[in-house]
């Protein structure tokens, strides 16, 4: 697939209503919804498609819902459906189907990020956004009087360029240079994770379930995190692990070596050996639970990983990247439809509270969960005593994957009530 290129434009012609920095899932989703609402959107991507991103490549029903809403053809070749989650731990191995809900589909998907991000970027272009690739945004352009961001500076083909807009959306991931330049730094009281993964040629490439291993050992220490095996459907499996920074050995740990040691103990017929590895082991940080705030300031709107919108329960980021992209787009459309600057600002300043209402209580529960499983012995106890109870595990799947109906069954009502009464993140 080739993403259509935006035509060459001068700086004046490149001006837009909204500039979106970063064409990952958050940026492309934001750009799509903005363009569909009739706004002139410029989507800036520092690399060129296709390009790789470190990820498990697994998409839960939350993510699938957003893809369907944008008209993505998930029945096209390359999309691999899954029925649910296979859990391995405590000497047990069992399968949990995705719950049957009115709010979400009952299946997940797998698609490599190399394909996935390009598909979303191409969809944003089809929706009306203009995409420029190879544009590395270097900083904000600020209004001298108000201090609001009114555009960005960037490097393209070795030249300094500038693009101006009425608003800017930061969708440039965990590193988010544009947010840092606007004075938005990480909160140290939020959990951070790390994920490492590689691909192996394997007969397990067409698995019907996403597989998670709840026991990651470093010597005699059970680590807070999990391993995964996701069949990609192209002859390979995405195999990786995610760990929380709450572990005592987090800073000094060699995650790549840990992944190698973990896969070394797997059945040889699965093929997870170094000679079957098709890519190097790569890692990435996972910013969780709103670790960068506020999500709006002086003309800058944060979406996805730039705002730390990863679920602390399970490390899922793509669904929340797309969801917050849609929410941000709805807010921006309403704001730019107002008559005065004061009215526009009032709408935009409500955006952080909209996110807190949607995710704040749930993310607070997730932070408590992270703190709990990081205590020595808790993870081992939970693995040994919770896994043998199917009803409890079905509840846990709904909680960890954030999959409930507003007026669902008893488990839905419990999870929704807990999220509602928990203080917003």
Distance linking the first and last C-alpha atoms of the chain: 39
Phi, psi angles (nearest 5°) of residue 165? -160, 170
112-142 tens-digit pLDDT: 999 999 999 999 999 999 999 999 999 999 9
**Close Cβ partners of 182 (under 8 Å, ≥ 6 residues apart):** 140, 149, 297, 298, 300
CA dist., res. 420 & res. 352, Å (int): 17
CA dist., res. 188 & res. 245, Å (int): 11
* Torsional class of 17: left (φ above 0), alpha (ψ -120 to 50), beta (otherwise): alpha
237-269 tens-digit pLDDT: 999 999 988 766 666 788 899 999 999 999 999
CA dist., res. 330 & res. 32, Å (int): 11
Per DSSP (E only), the strands in 52-191 are: 58-59, 80-82, 84-89, 92-97, 108-110, 130-133, 135-142, 149-156, 159-170
At residue 389's C-alpha, the angle toward residues 383 and 390, to 5°, is 115
- Asked whether the beta carbons of 404 and 412 are under 8 A apart, the reply is yes
Q: Provide the token pair at 187.
A: 């909160």
pLDDT at 2: 52
For residue 149, give Cα distances in angstroms to 79, 145, 218, 334, 422: 39, 11, 46, 19, 34
CATH of 16-63+113-187+289-370, one of 3.40.228.10, 3.50.50.60, 1.10.1200.10, 3.40.50.720: 3.50.50.60
All structural domains of the chain with their residue ranges: 16-63+113-187+289-370
Q: Provide the token pair at 342.
A: 């004061």
- Asked whether the beta carbons of 314 and 401 are under 8 A apart, the reply is yes
CA dist., res. 381 & res. 94, Å (int): 18
Question: Of 208, 20, 243, 275, which Cα lies nearest the Cα of 130?
Answer: 20
Question: Of 123, 126, 131, which Cα lies nearest the Cα of 74?
Answer: 123
pTM equals 0.94
Judged against a pLDDT cut of 50, whether residue 14 lies above it is answered with no
Question: Of 285, 323, 283, which Cα lies nearest the Cα of 304?
Answer: 323
Q: Provide the token pair at 158.
A: 């070795």
46-61 tens-digit pLDDT: 999 999 999 999 999 9
Q: What is the mean pLDDT of residues 319-345?
A: 97
Coil, strand or helix: which one is 199? strand
| Kind plus residue range of the DSSP H or E element containing 344 | helix 341-349
| Kind plus residue range of the DSSP H or E element containing 307 | none
- Asked whether the beta carbons of 96 and 397 are under 8 A apart, the reply is yes
Please state the separation of Cα 272 from the chain's center in Å.
26
Lowest mean pLDDT among 151-160, 242-251, 297-306, 358-367: 242-251
- Asked whether the beta carbons of 425 and 359 are under 8 A apart, the reply is yes
Judged against a pLDDT cut of 90, whether residue 1 lies above it is answered with no
Beta bridge partners of 242: 195, 226
Percent of the chain with pLDDT over 90: 82
């Amino acid at each position: 697939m080739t993403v259509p290129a935006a035509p060459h434009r001068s700086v004046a012609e490149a001006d837009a209503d909204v500039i979106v920095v970063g064409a990952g899932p958050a940026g492309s989703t934001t750009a799509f919804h903005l363009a569909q609402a009739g706004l002139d959107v410029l989507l800036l991507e520092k690399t060129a498609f296709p390009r790789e991103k470190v990820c498990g490549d697994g998409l839960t029903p939350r993510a699938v819902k957003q893809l369907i809403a944008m008209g993505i053809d998930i029945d096209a070749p390359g999309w691999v459906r899954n029925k649910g989650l296979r859990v391995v731990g405590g000497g047990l191995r069992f399968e949990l189907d995705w719950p049957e809900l009115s709010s979400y589909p009952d299946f997940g998907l797998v698609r490599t990020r190399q394909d996935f991000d390009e598909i979303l970027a191409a969809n944003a272009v089809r929706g009306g956004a203009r995409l420029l690739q190879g544009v590395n945004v270097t900083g904000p352009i600020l209004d001298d009087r108000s201090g609001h961001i009114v555009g960005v500076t960037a490097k393209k083909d070795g030249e300094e360029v500038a693009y101006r807009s009425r608003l800017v959306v930061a969708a440039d991931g965990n590193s988010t240079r544009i947010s840092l330049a606007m004075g938005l730094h990480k909160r140290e009281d939020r959990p951070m994770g790390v994920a490492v993964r590689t691909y192996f040629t394997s007969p397990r490439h067409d698995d019907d379930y996403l597989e998670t291993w709840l026991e990651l050992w470093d010597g005699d220490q059970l680590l807070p995190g999990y391993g995964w095996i996701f069949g990609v459907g192209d002859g390979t499996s995405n195999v990786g692990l995610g760990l929380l920074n709450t572990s005592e050995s987090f800073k000094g740990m060699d995650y790549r070596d840990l992944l190698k040691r973990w896969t070394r103990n797997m059945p040889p017929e699965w093929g997870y050996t170094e000679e079957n590895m098709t890519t190097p082991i790569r890692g990435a940080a996972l910013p969780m639970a709103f670790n960068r705030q506020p999500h709006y300031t002086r003309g800058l709107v944060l979406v996805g990983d730039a705002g730390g919108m990863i679920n602390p329960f399970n490390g899922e980021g793509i669904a929340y990247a797309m969801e917050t992209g849609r929410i941000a787009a709805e807010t921006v459309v309403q704001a730019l439809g107002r008559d005065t600057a004061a009215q526009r600002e009032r709408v935009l300043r409500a955006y952080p509270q909209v996110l807190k209402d949607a995710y704040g209580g749930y993310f607070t529960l997730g932070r408590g969960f992270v703190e709990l499983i990081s205590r020595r012995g808790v993870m081992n106890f939970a693995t040994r005593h919770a896994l043998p109870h199917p009803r409890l595990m079905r509840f846990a799947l709904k909680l960890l994957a954030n999959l409930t109906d507003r007026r669902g069954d008893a488990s839905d009502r419990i999870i929704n009530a807990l999220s509602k009464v928990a203080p917003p993140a």
